[in-house]
Structure 1
Amino acid sequence: MDFMSKMKEMAKSDIQRIVLPEGEEERNLTAAAEINAEKIAEVILVGNGEVIREKAEKLGLNIEGIEIQDPAKSEKTAEYVREFYELRKSKGVTEEIAAKTMLDPMYFGTMMVKKDDAQGMVSGAIHTTGDLLRPGLQIVKTAPGISVVSSFFVMLLEDESYGKEGMMLFADCAVNPNPNEDELAAIAISTADTAKKLCGMDPKVAMLSFSTMGSAKHELVTKVQNAVKKANELRPDLAIEGELQADAALVAKVGKQKAPNSKVAGEANVLVFPDLQAGNIGYKLVQRLAGAEAIGPICQGFAKPINDLSRGCSAEDIVNVVAITAVQAQAQK
């Protein structure tokens, strides 16, 4: 069974409520109809009910039984306004600002997750990553012990000699442009936990650089070295090593030569990139040149599952991310 088939089966085993705040958008509607038909999750669409039903009819979609929440009319809105005001009044948010803010589907959907009216949220077909992160950090916030929200891609390679039968996790490839050493340590820990809980891996985390175990001296190398040290101090139970060059992390012969005492070198299944430029370039090169399937970006570090989409996503991409979000929600119970 391939990765996404496994995710969908896991999602079906314990149905979670997942909110789609872009409920009026056609790809979201198409995805919602498929998710509902396959019973992958219980979907909630946020938006104007009349608009949603009219668009669904024009598209020939069956959305019968799918919950629709209109922030302008919902009985939940008043409660959400009070909650947001209490959360943000120290930041200068007035009751009037809270009332206006909660009409925004992104904020409304995020508050549904905060109040356990949904177990997770998926957005990004027509909103930026920043549009998702702002309400997420203001309302749901980060998980205990995690200082930063980050992202990962599940990379599925044809060559099964890499990772877990060709499956690897790459982080952070979408959120943090230039993480400092504390943030880099947090990203490594989050991704290791994700690899274990979501993918069933025994995580072997390589923190990448242009240097291997002190072969080069530079402040960029020092940042990675310090991040490795901090990650190991925080979570000595995890196999997080570095700094490693990509070939030392992935190729057994090179790993033994460059880092002979490493338990990760040559066997890494999680790659943590030193910054967003490297991560974004790295996953796209593997995707295009090696023909790998890249699933993501998936967010990690929020107290509850909130996930992003590419604005170029397909309806099937939304279905896949909803399934993964549902499995993340199951793991947080």
Structure 2
Amino acid sequence: MDLISEIVARAKANRQRIVLPEGTEERTLKAADQVLADGVADLILIGNPAEIKDLAAQWSLKHIDQATIVDPENQPKKEEYAELLFELRKKKGMTMEDARKLVLDPLYLGCLMVKNNDADGQLAGARNTTGNVLRPALQIIKTVPGISCVSGAMLLISKNTQYGKNGVLVMGDVAVTPVPDAQQLAEIAVSTARTATAVAGIDEPRVAMLSFSTKGSAKHENVDKVVEAFKIAQQLDPALKIDGELQADAALVPSIGASKAPGSEIAGHANVLVVPNLEVGNIGYKIAQRLGNVDAIGPILQGIARPVNDLSRGCSVDDVYKMIAITANQAIAASNAK
């Protein structure tokens, strides 16, 4: 069974309630129809019920009536959610009037449903920017205790099964924080390891903190940052198997790892790669994707207390389907961690 099939199977076995704020968006609705047909998740669509029904008929979608449809203008918990939002944001100057207006925004409403335990996770972004998706998530759901930095992980699936876990590796951060400091980089390492377990099924993450240096082979302030981040990550999660700084070949190839970092249990055996900045991550996974024929799935947002994921506005129906299943896997892990 390939990784995506495993992710879907785990979602089916423990169905989660995933809210889709862009309930009238074509790709989202088509993916939702297939998710409901396959029993991958229980879905909550936010939007005008009549419009959703008309669109479902127009696109010959047969299973949308299995979803819960929530109309922002006419839903029984509108005042309850407004009060919740007001309590969360009043110290930042929010008034009840402001809260009542924001509850009509599907992205805010979806996050309030997750915060209120009326949903287990949220997926949006087919119509909205990353900033718009993240803003309510950070204001309402906030970050995981002990983590202040939101980041994005990418699943890398290679036909070269000698790397990672049968060809599966997880890389972070590829999506959110352009130039993390040492503390943020350490948090990215811990978060990416947790994503590796929750989504990629990697029971024993082995984290490599990547650099252009291996164990002092080069001297530079950027190398120093990675070394400091490695030490902080060990403090954040003493049980985490992690090493750094390592060059990419030393992290991935056993013979090179043994030569450049003798005695390291991570060198040559890494399945989680943490890059020093967003520029490296974005360039790196796209080179692997285009030149190495690696399947790159994501980004998967991490560090938020409950799963909220962001789609590319250029996403396909298949992308939405996969990300619903991934969000469900994160929700299962979040529930198990309580």
* TM-score, normalised with respect to structure 2: 0.96
Partner residue in 1 for 2:285 = 283
Does the 8 A contact of 2:179 with 2:278 survive in 1?
yes
Partner residue in 2 for 1:171 = 172
In 2, the alpha carbon distance for the partners of 1:194 and 1:45 equals 26
Moved more, 251-260 or 279-288: 251-260
1:311 pairs, out of 308, 313, 316, with: 313
Sequence identity, in percent?
53
Q: Look up the SS of the partner of 1:263 in the other structure.
A: coil
- Cα offsets for 1:288-309 (capped at 9, x unmatched): 1111111111111111111111
- Cα offsets for 1:238-282 (capped at 9, x unmatched): 111111111111112211121112111111111001010000111
Partner residue in 2 for 1:232 = 234
**Paired AA for residue 44 in structure 2:** I
Partner residue in 2 for 1:153 = 154
Q: Look up the SS of the partner of 1:199 in the other structure.
A: coil
Partner residue in 1 for 2:260 = 258
TM superposition shift of 1:199: 2.5
In 2, the alpha carbon distance for the partners of 1:274 and 1:2 equals 29
Q: Look up the SS of the partner of 1:103 in the other structure.
A: coil
In 1, the alpha carbon distance for the partners of 2:251 and 2:318 equals 33
- Cα offsets for 1:63-108 (capped at 9, x unmatched): 1221111111111211111110111011011111111111111001
Partner residue in 1 for 2:134 = 133
Aligned residue runs from structure 1 range 2-151, under 5 A: 2-62=2-62, 63-151=64-152
Does the 8 A contact of 2:198 with 2:329 survive in 1?
no
Partner residue in 2 for 1:185 = 186
In 1, the alpha carbon distance for the partners of 2:194 and 2:140 equals 23
In 1, the alpha carbon distance for the partners of 2:11 and 2:255 equals 39
In 2, the alpha carbon distance for the partners of 1:6 and 1:233 equals 32
In 2, the alpha carbon distance for the partners of 1:80 and 1:236 equals 39
Aligned residue runs from structure 1 range 207-222, under 5 A: 207-222=209-224
TM superposition shift of 1:234: 2.0
In 2, the alpha carbon distance for the partners of 1:286 and 1:130 equals 27
Runs (4+) off by over 4 Å: none
TM superposition shift of 1:6: 0.9
- Cα offsets for 1:182-219 (capped at 9, x unmatched): 01001101111222333232111111111111111111
TM superposition shift of 1:111: 0.7
In 2, the alpha carbon distance for the partners of 1:42 and 1:233 equals 38
Does the 8 A contact of 2:7 with 2:200 survive in 1?
no
**Paired AA for residue 238 in structure 2:** P
**Paired AA for residue 300 in structure 1:** Q
Q: Look up the SS of the partner of 1:146 in the other structure.
A: coil
Q: Look up the SS of the partner of 2:123 in the other structure.
A: strand
2:251 pairs, out of 241, 249, 252, with: 249
Partner residue in 1 for 2:270 = 268
Partner residue in 2 for 1:162 = 163
In 2, the alpha carbon distance for the partners of 1:3 and 1:234 equals 29
Q: Look up the SS of the partner of 2:156 in the other structure.
A: strand
**Paired AA for residue 293 in structure 1:** D
Partner residue in 2 for 1:296 = 298
* TM-score, normalised with respect to structure 1: 0.98
Does the 8 A contact of 2:251 with 2:266 survive in 1?
yes
Does the 8 A contact of 2:125 with 2:310 survive in 1?
yes
User: Which stretches in structure 2 are left out of the alignment for 5+ residues?
Assistant: none
**Paired AA for residue 206 in structure 2:** K
TM superposition shift of 1:9: 1.0
In 1, the alpha carbon distance for the partners of 2:66 and 2:237 equals 45
TM superposition shift of 1:175: 0.9
Q: Look up the SS of the partner of 1:15 in the other structure.
A: coil
**Paired AA for residue 205 in structure 1:** V
**Paired AA for residue 277 in structure 1:** E
